[in-house]
Structures are given as C-alpha cells and as structure tokens.
Amino acid sequence: MKKKILSVLLAGAMVSSLVACGVSTGEETTGTGDASGATTETAASGDAIVLLNGKPEIDEQLQALAAAYTAESGQAVEIQTVGGSNSATASDTLKKDYQAGTMPDIFVAEANQFANWEGMLADMSGEAWTENTELEYVNEDGTVGFPYMVEAWGIGYNADVLEAAGVDPSTLTSPAGYKAAFETLESKKDELGLTAVVDYGANATELGWSTGTHMFGQYLDAGLSAGADSEWFDLLQDGGKIDADRMTQFAEFIDLIQQHCDETIATTGNYDQETALFAQGKAAFITQGSWFGANLTGSDDYSGFKCGIAPFAFADGIDTICGGATSYWAVYADGNVDAAKAFLQWCSEETAQKAFVNECGFVSPFNTVSDIPSDPFAEAVNTYKSNGKLSPMHTFEKKDGLQNDTSVVFEDFAKGNLDVAGFVDTISKVCEAYYAQ
Amino acid sequence: MTAFSAKRKISSFAMLAVGIVCIIFSLALDCMGLKFFIDLGNGNLDIRGGILIVGILLTIAGIYLFPTLKYHRAIVYGLFLFPLLATFLVTVIIPLFFGIGYSFTDWDGIRVRNVVGFENYLRMFRQPGFIWSILVTFLFVFFNVILVNLIGFLLALLCTTKIKALGFFRASYFLPNLIGGIVLGYIWKFIFSSVLTNLLATKSMLSETPTALAAIVIVYIWQYGGYIMLIYITGLTGVQADTLEAASIDGASPCQLLTKIKIPMIAPTITICTFLTLTSAFKQFDVNLAMTNGAGSVSDFMGSYITNGTEMLALNIYSTAISQNQYALSQAKAVLFFIILAVVSIIQVRTSNKKEVTL
C-alpha cells in the first residue's frame, strides 16, 4: 500500500511539473501583447508600444519621457533597456526577440545593422519630423532610422591650456598648424604641468573602438561636407581598397601625434587611464569625441576647464569634424507602426527634445530646440553642426568587425613595429583581406 | 487473450489519436506562425501552447493504457525517463542539429535567406586568421597539458609530504580554481599590464603576441594546477603504504620510489588528468576573452598580416558571430570545433576503458 501511494505521488509530481512547465511557456506566448509589466503603470496595457533602448545610462530619463507621453496622449509606452558598453548586446537581444516573436515596436539600431533588417522596417519618409533634421537614416527601404542624439569627434582639446600656451585653436586646420602647436606645447610642458601634449590610446584590446572605428573614420570622411558621399568609403566598400595618398597623409599625422603622446598610455593604456590623464589637465589634446564629456565631468580629477574640438586635420584645409547620429531608433514593420510613428513624432518636438538635451545630455539632431547640454564638448559640437561643418560618419557602415583588425595595426604603429609606409601598406592589406573573407 | 476490456482498448486508442492530432495541430500552427485564440469576453487567450500540452498528456495516457502485457513494463520505464529525455532532446540534440543545419546556410542570426552548401566550410579555411587560431589552440593545449600536469603533480608530491600547514597549502593552491575565469583574467591583466610593468620597468607581457600567449598559459596553469593537484593527491594517497615500505626495505631510494612505484601505480590518474586538461584547454575562452580579447599582431602568416594573434578557437567562433555578425560562418566553425572535441573525447573514453581493464 505504501508503495502504491508513493508511486502515485511520484507520478503526480512528474505530471504536475510537466503541466507547470507547459503553463509558464503558454503564458509567455500569450503575454506578448500586454507585456506592460513592472515598468509602466498604465491602463491601456493592451496597446503599449515597446521601445528597446540600448543605452542603460538614459533608462530613467526615457521612462520619465514615456510616462509624460502616456499622460499627454493616453498611449502607453514601455521602455526595455538592455546592454552595457557594446552595441552587440542590443542587437543580440533583438535576434532573440525575433526568434521568439516578441519584437519591440521601436528598437535601437546602428548604421551597419540596418542591412540585417532589410524589408522588415517601417518607412518613415513623409513624417513631419524629417523636415527638422538632416540626420535620419535612409536606405532602400526608405527613411528607417530616427536620430535621437548627435555625437562628433575630431581632436578634443583643453581650451585653458591652449590659451595659457598662446595657441589659437583656429590655426588647427592643417598638419603644419598642428605641428607648430604641438611644438609650442612641448617646449612649455613643465610650465603648463603637462606630461604629454596629446592623450592618445591605441591598445587594440582596450581602445580598439577608438582607433579602429573613430580614427579610421577620419580617414574616410574628414573634410567632407555634411551628407556628402565619401569616395574613400566607396573605395573601401569596393573590396576594401585604400587610397594610398590619403592614407599616407593620415599616417603621417598619426605619427606626429605619436611623437607627442605618452608612450605607455598609447601602447598599453585603457580608457580610464586615458580619461584620467586628460581630466587631470596633464594633456592638452585627446583623441576622443563628444561622448568623452560625460566621462570627463564624471571624473573626480576634472577641475572644470573649458574644452573644444578641433578638426582631425591630416591634410590642408580640413575644417570639419566627423559627426552625426551614431545610433537610431527604427520602427518594426509588423509592430504597432502608427502608434510608434506618433511617439517618434512627439519625441522630435520641443518638450521631448528639451528633455533629451537637458536630462540625457544629448546634442539634439533636430532644429526644434536651441538648448545645448551642459557637457564640456556640447557647445563645440553644436557650433560645428550649425555651421554645417559636420562630416558624415561612414565608419559605422563599413563591414562589421573591420575595426577589430585595423585597431591592431594602429597598435603596432604606436609600438613602433611599423613605420608610416609600413602602416599604409599593412592597413591596405588588412582591409583587402577582411573584405575578401 | 482477452486480458483487456473493450473499454480500455477504445479509450487508449482514442486518447492516442486525439493526443497526436493535438500535437500535430499545435506544432503546425507554430510552424506557420499562427496563433489560436479563444474569446474569453475580456480579451483573447492564445491556447496554442495549451493544446500542445493537452496533446502530450493525452498521448502519454494513451501509451500507458496501451493494451499490451509484453511491453507494458518497457512503456512504464520509458514514461519515467520521458522528462529527462525530453529535456535532453530540447536542450542538446535539437540545437545540435539546428546548428549543423544553419552552418549550410547564410543565416545572420535573424533569418535564413539562402542555402549555401559547403561554402561556409570552405570560407573558414580560406581565412588565415582562423587557421592561426587552430594552430594557436593546439600549441596552447600542448603546453598546458604538459605544464599543468607537471606542476600539478609536483604540487601534489609537495602536499603529500610531511611539511607543516599542509591544509593551508592545499587550499591555497586550489583556490584559484574557484575564481571564475573572467575575474581571473581581469585580475591578471591588471598584474601584467600595471603591476609588473611598474615593478620591473618592462613592457607589458600582453603587448606582444608571443609573450601574451605565454601570459595566458601562465594564468591557465595558475587556475588549473590546483585542481589537477587535488586529483593527483587522491591518486598518491591511494598508493598502499605497505608497497612503499616494502620497496624502501629493499633499498629503493626516494627517487626510485617515485619513478618505479608511485608513477606506475597512479597511471590511471595520469590518464584522467591528461584528458581533463586536454579538453578544458581546448575550450579555453574566458581567460582569453578577459586578458587580450584575441588581439595581437603577427606580421606574416601565410602571406597575410594577422590581427587576432592571441585568439583561440572558442573565442574566434564567438567573435565571428558577435562582432563580425557572421552567424552561419561561426556555426560552421563551431561544428568543426565539435568534431575536434568529439574525437578527443572518444579517444579519452577508449583509452581510459583500456586502462581500467588492465588494472
């Protein structure tokens, strides 16, 4: 008898565990539509639109923005935030969501990720917001990327140090101008308290994103007017070809930087060490862009000195910095397209844009607001933007993963394993090999 | 033979039939991307999953009541094994076959556009970087198997002597193995690139490909040596004291005791340790990721400049998928990786079986 009861109990446990597993999966599939969950408390849960955000640092601000929109329009918006330091996290989440059939209505995408979603995104051309910006992402599917932030990079500088040394930043539009400025600063290093003139990091493991993506981007686009096509990018896309003359000028400029940088940071330093050197006022220039403002203000060493961005002038007459929207919001065509479009339109208008600028610290891609974030580099970015001096950023559209290879060449160059000719030759080979794969 | 009532026969067949129809129906719906709603008044409820579960339960009940005496026991055993088998099927077997399938397509993590045949397999062997990864992995495995075992064995000898604070030594040698590889990697990266460079005023070991590889080997030995030591300690303490005593009475020196008695006696332990280090070194990923993320230049390998000098096979597979967004190619590499590991494991099982027989 005891045996029988035990076997019944065991069998019961087995069946109920099966049922339990089954029920929870059942709920998951039914829960797609009304996943309002803990993040938003709204009545209209059935139609909540879901936005997948890839920037954890602005999660709170977006939640507040979503709540404000719900209060205004009655449309619930759920913000899902994933990720961390790299963009791969958001794109991986999306792949998983796509397989599970739980795609968000709006999601974050970078320029070279749009091709993955070809034919699956809603065309937003003709939306009112497109009139107020030039930075939207357009491809064969139409206008598919809503810009929500502007980032830009050239060579950042410490305006106070330059002033004390008597260097006028407006002369920094040619290699000769830079050479003169670097030499002046080098001679006054002790008096200005500098340990290095330029804060440059090329360690591929730590700062490969900086050299392989951003600095390489200067080769592709520096000096071009906003929205222009880049012949060097077209050349690169055509089997990874490199223009040897331009690359030589570029390499000579990097070489100039390397003669005036801190060798240890250049070869083995990480982002924190790079940040600390500049924040302590021990370097006059840094090879980073507008995003660096947040790290600078977040550093305890930062004394509040003024900053600016100068063009990456490796050839005469380069007076632009590379910039634009580095990540976009795309609308999934099988989602709630109309509600998503309405939300994005609202995001482009004044109330939301003010929140983006003042709360998130973004330079606005729209001309609906004149506010500028309090970030040390924001004013410089905004000035370039309003003067039409933002070059495009084709570097985000090059073949995925190329930066991992080119950044190693930058590191070898910084370590002195390659000379200028060797750098040009190697980077050409690496690009060709990568595109041939 | 009328051991079964007509009622039981009918109910068994009916349950089986309805159950199978339910399963097929719900799976067909799923494959077509459709949902099955019922109206509850306050919103629709998708019961596609529900149908599947009801179908499975009905099928199980039908099988259980199946009118057979001969196979009834086998059926009951099978039913009890079902939860485990189903889990194994869903988490291991199905993904394995899906993975092999994906490796013949141009899957990008989102959808399959074309079937490309063996293209991915041919492509991966045209990448000098991948060939380099394979070679580096084999090199790494070679050094590790020898060094980890040697050091583990020497530590074990040390920890079976009569030195003081034996427990402390054993614990502290074993401790690194309890720290996760990623954490360990970051700790050692700091040591190599910040501590040692300042103390010795040299370049970081991680800055050049050969020394960076050596650094990974060192960290791996540090992580794994203690674990292998524990297994050797078990082996060494299992060598019978009377054998050793008899040998020493016969005049064997400590060195002879070691080479003629202890090592032959712990041959099975050596086999186990060798294969443990072999398979785990092959699968090296976390320390590699944390310490160098695969970066490192090799100026000329097969006529190309290689940028993934310290990237081992597992990390190469990962970065092919994640940072290069080539999921299908990565899947093909993973299949090759699986084959290599399977061959190693089969050899392992064969060899250890043989050893057990001779014991």
Q: What is the ipTM of this complex?
A: 0.78
**Cβ-defined contact of A401 to B206 (cutoff 8 Å):** no
Domain termination residue (choose one: B121, B142, B164) = B121
pLDDT at B25 > cutoff 70: yes
pLDDT grade for A36, boundaries at 50, 70 and 90? very low
pLDDT grade for A56, boundaries at 50, 70 and 90? confident
Classify residue B92: in a domain, yes or no.
Answer: yes
One domain, residues B154 and B215: yes
Q: Which residue has the higher pLDDT, B4 or A387?
A: A387
pLDDT at A28 > cutoff 60: no
pLDDT recorded at residue B357 = 47
Name which of B46, B57, B299 is nearest A30 (Cβ-Cβ).
B46
Classify residue B287: in a domain, yes or no.
Answer: yes
Q: What is the pLDDT of residues A379-414, one digit of tens each?
A: 899 889 888 898 988 998 898 889 989 999 999 999
* Burial class of residue B144 in the structure, from the number of CB atoms within 10 Å of its CB (0-12 exposed, 13-18 middle, 19+ buried): buried
pLDDT at B347 > cutoff 70: yes
Chain A CB within 8 Å of residue B46 CB: yes
Chain B hits for A430, CB-CB cut-off 8 Å, are 305, 307
One domain, residues B14 and B100: yes
pLDDT recorded at residue A19 = 54
pLDDT recorded at residue A338 = 92
pLDDT recorded at residue A34 = 36
pLDDT recorded at residue A84 = 60
On the CB side of B255, CA atoms within 13 Å amount to 0
Residue B38: helix, strand or coil by DSSP?
strand
One domain, residues B111 and B137: no
Domain termination residue (choose one: B121, B152, B187) = B121
CA distances from A278 to A228, B148, B341 (A): 33, 43, 48
Tokens 């060598």 sit at which residue?
A: B239
**Cβ-defined contact of A433 to B197 (cutoff 8 Å):** no
Domain termination residue (choose one: B121, B153, B180) = B121
Strand partners, A138: A143
Q: What is the pLDDT of residues B67-97, one digit of tens each?
A: 888 888 888 898 899 889 999 999 999 999 9
Name which of B48, B83, B307 is nearest A408 (Cβ-Cβ).
B307
Chain A hits for B64, CB-CB cut-off 8 Å, are none
pLDDT recorded at residue A171 = 92
Name which of A23, A404, A437 is nearest B307 (Cβ-Cβ).
A404
Q: What is the pLDDT of residues B164-223, one digit of tens each?
A: 888 898 899 899 888 888 999 999 999 998 888 889 888 888 888 999 999 999 999 999
Mean pLDDT of chain A: 86
One domain, residues B197 and B266: yes
One domain, residues B189 and B247: yes
pLDDT recorded at residue A23 = 45
Residue B305: helix, strand or coil by DSSP?
strand
pLDDT at B66 > cutoff 90: no
Chain A CB within 8 Å of residue B120 CB: no
Chain A CB within 8 Å of residue B95 CB: no
- Asked if residues B310 and B136 have their Cβ atoms less than 8 Å apart, the reply is yes
pLDDT recorded at residue B2 = 56
User: Distance (Å, rounded) from C-alpha B256 to C-alpha B260?
Assistant: 5
Residue A367 one-letter amino acid: N
Which domain covers residue B317, as residue numbers? Answer: 123-358
Pick among A404, A426, A434 to test the B interface (most B CBs inside 10 A): A404
Candidates A414, A413, A317; CA nearest to A430 is A413
pLDDT recorded at residue A17 = 60
pLDDT recorded at residue B97 = 93
pLDDT grade for A101, boundaries at 50, 70 and 90? confident
pLDDT grade for B337, boundaries at 50, 70 and 90? very high
One domain, residues B87 and B192: no
- Share above pLDDT 90 across residues of chain B, in percent, rounded to a whole number: 43
Tokens 């993320």 sit at which residue?
A: B293
Candidates A189, A405, B271; CA nearest to B263 is B271
Classify residue B98: in a domain, yes or no.
Answer: yes
* Structural domains of chain A sorted by starting position, each given as residue range(s) with its CATH number in brackets: 45-150+325-348 (3.40.190.10), 152-322+391-436 (3.40.190.10)
One domain, residues B170 and B308: yes
Classify residue B233: in a domain, yes or no.
Answer: yes
pLDDT grade for B32, boundaries at 50, 70 and 90? confident
Chain A CB within 8 Å of residue B351 CB: no
pLDDT at A42 > cutoff 60: no
**Cβ-defined contact of B295 to A19 (cutoff 8 Å):** no
One domain, residues B67 and B155: no
Q: Which residue has the higher pLDDT, B162 or B329?
A: B329
Q: What is the pLDDT of residues A198-220, one digit of tens each?
A: 999 999 888 988 999 999 999 99
pLDDT recorded at residue A15 = 63
One domain, residues B220 and B264: yes
Q: Which residue has the higher pLDDT, B278 or A14?
A: B278
Size of interface A-B (CB pairs under 8 A): 112
Q: What is the pLDDT of residues B100-159, one digit of tens each?
A: 999 999 998 888 888 999 999 999 998 999 999 999 999 999 999 999 999 999 999 998
Name which of A19, A406, A426 is nearest B53 (Cβ-Cβ).
A19
**Cβ-defined contact of A22 to B193 (cutoff 8 Å):** no
pLDDT recorded at residue A30 = 34
One domain, residues B203 and B306: yes
Name which of B126, B193, B296 is nearest A268 (Cβ-Cβ).
B193
pLDDT at A258 > cutoff 50: yes
Q: How many residues does chain A have?
A: 437
SS (H, E, C) chain A: CHHHHHHHHHHHHHHHHHHHHHHHHHHHHHCCCCCCCCCCCCCCHHHCEEEEECCHHHHHHHHHHHHHHHHHHCCCEEEEECCCCCCHHHHHHHHHHHHHCCCCCEEEECHHHHHHHCCCECCCCCCHHHHHCCCCEEECCEEEEEECCEEEECEEEEHHHHHHHCCCHHHCCCHHHHHHHHHHHHHCHHHHCCCEEEECCCCHHHHHHHHHHHHHHHHHHCCCCCCCCCHHHHHHHCCCCCCHHHHHHHHHHHHHHHHCECHHHHHHCCHHHHHHHHHCCCEEEECCECCHHHHHHHCCCCCCCCEEEECCCCCCCCCCEEEECCCEEEEECCCCHHHHHHHHHHHHCHHHHHHHHHHHCCECCCCCCCCCCCCCCHHHHHHHHHCCCEECCHHHHCCCCHHHHHHHHHHHHHCCCCCHHHHHHHHHHHHHHHHHC
Total tally of structural domains belonging to chain B: 2
**Cβ-defined contact of B307 to A19 (cutoff 8 Å):** no
pLDDT at B336 > cutoff 90: yes
- Asked if residues B3 and B69 have their Cβ atoms less than 8 Å apart, the reply is yes
One domain, residues B150 and B285: yes
Chain B hits for A412, CB-CB cut-off 8 Å, are 297
Chain A hits for B77, CB-CB cut-off 8 Å, are none
Pick the range with the lowest mean pLDDT from A88-92, A186-190, A235-239, B315-319: A88-92
Classify residue B330: in a domain, yes or no.
Answer: yes
One domain, residues B141 and B116: no
| CATH code of the domain in which B336 resides | 1.10.3720.10
Average of pLDDT values for A109-116?
Answer: 86
Mean pLDDT of chain B: 88
Chain A CB within 8 Å of residue B356 CB: no
Classify residue B1: in a domain, yes or no.
Answer: no
- Share above pLDDT 70 across residues of chain B, in percent, rounded to a whole number: 96
Pick the range with the lowest mean pLDDT from A127-136, A295-304, B31-40, B53-62: B31-40
Q: Is the dihedral of CA B97, B102, B105, B111 positive or negative?
A: positive
Chain A CB within 8 Å of residue B123 CB: yes
Residue A84 has a CB neighbour count (10 Å cut-off) of 12
User: Which residues have C-beta within 8 Å of that of residue A419, sequence separation ≥ 6?
Assistant: none
Q: Which residue has the higher pLDDT, A36 or A172?
A: A172
pLDDT recorded at residue A99 = 84
Tokens 């339960």 sit at which residue?
A: B57
